[in-house]
Amino acid sequence: MKITGTRSHVLRYEMDEELGYSQQYYPARTAHLVEVSIDEGPTGWGECFGTGPIALANKTIVEQVLQPMVLGRDPLAREAIWQHCYNMMCDHGQKGMPLYCLLAGPTRTRIPDLADAFHDEAAAIREAGFAATKMKVGPGSVADIELATAVRDGVGDGFRFAVDANHCYTTPDALTVGRALDDLGAYWFEEPVAPEDRAGYTELRAKLKTTIAGGEAEFTRYGRRDLLAAMPDMPGGLHPWEPILEFDTTPNRFRDDMLSDPLDIQGQVKRSGGFVDLPGGPGLGVRPDPAFLDHYRIA
């Protein structure tokens, strides 16, 4: 069995309403699927991380740099292939995110509108049957506390809500927001400071009651190894922490309409009280619809 080729599918569509987080606003959805063909057996599918124009740059890397490294290899030798590709590229940069064009945060006059929107959206998520919700922050520590308060009001007491800062704070600002989150009973505080600021994470962990989350901007086993070495075992007991499927509830055709057999996560959550079934097919258990890819492909 041999790998005979890879093909990138970069997809894009303009959204009806732009979305944002602490680093930028963006008007379009993009996705980068990578199809791996072999001489016998099924086609494999993967998703390449990187949004917007980054997907176009990654397409070139996948096709011009990585593809020659995997052609003719046994697809079952997954670990050996990964090590080969990693070693061949490790001298050319394994860390560092592309520097997006940072946009100014929303003006102060938008905060009341955002607070109302956050309140109503959080309430709708609870009403839809989800077991928890997560919000983005970023306009600034004072405004972010207003937004978090609006979300708590929207979901009511006793419902879990987490806060994702996408590493937008200094440690003092993160402490200010984190102490407010302590009072609001937030479930976790995600990426409060820069991924490289391990001392900041340690300080926040020591001074806040709210659980600190991080590691989203680390890549490969090497990037995460130090963080995992520092992590205690998951607690056991009669009521252990259950793994949570994080689900973006904003409109997304790539999530809802791309698959030949859509997952209907929202419908499952509504019907089951917050749970979803694992796809039972081979591999990932899902198959992209070729006609959908043709319709949205830009490269």
Give the interface size with Mg ion as a residue count (CB under 5 A): 3
Measured from the CB of residue 232, what is the shortest distance to Mg ion in angstroms? 21
Q: Is 230 exposed, middle or buried (0-12, 13-18, 19+ CB in 10 A)?
A: exposed
Judged by CB under 5 A, the chain residues 9 through 68 that form the site for Mg ion are: none
Measured from the CB of residue 214, what is the shortest distance to Mg ion in angstroms? 9
Show the tokens assigned to 225.
């190894």
In this chain, which of 216, 256, 261, 264 binds Mg ion, going by CB under 5 A? 216
Under rule CB under 5 A, residue 120 binds Mg ion:
no
**34/6 Cα distance (integer angstroms):** 7
Helices marked H in the chain — which ranges?
53-60, 67-70, 78-89, 111-127, 141-155, 171-184, 198-207, 220-229, 253-257, 265-272, 290-296
* 293 three-state secondary structure: helix
Which residue sits closest to Mg ion, CB atoms considered?
Answer: 164
Judged by CB under 5 A, the chain residues 135 through 174 that form the site for Mg ion are: 164
Helices 171-184 and 141-155, packing angle to 10 deg = 20
Judged by CB under 5 A, the chain residues 261 through 290 that form the site for Mg ion are: none
Measured from the CB of residue 98, what is the shortest distance to Mg ion in angstroms? 17
Q: What is the DSSP string of 191-207?
A: --S-TT-HHHHHHHHHH
Measured from the CB of residue 193, what is the shortest distance to Mg ion in angstroms? 13
Q: Which is nearer to Mg ion, 70 or 197 (CB)?
A: 197
* 67 three-state secondary structure: helix
**Interface segment toward Mg ion; rule CB under 5 A; list 66-74, 89-97, 183-191, 256-264:** 183-191
Q: Which of 45, 37, 31 is nearest to 6 (CA)?
A: 37
Measured from the CB of residue 216, what is the shortest distance to Mg ion in angstroms? 5
**Interface segment toward Mg ion; rule CB under 5 A; list 103-111, 118-126, 182-190, 230-238:** 182-190
Identify whether the C-beta of residue 131 lies closer than 8 Å to the C-beta of residue 244: yes
Q: What mask, x for binding Mg ion by CB under 5 A, covers residues 184 to 213?
A: ------x-----------------------
Q: Which is nearer to Mg ion, 136 or 152 (CB)?
A: 136
Binding region for Mg ion (CB under 5 A): 164, 190, 216
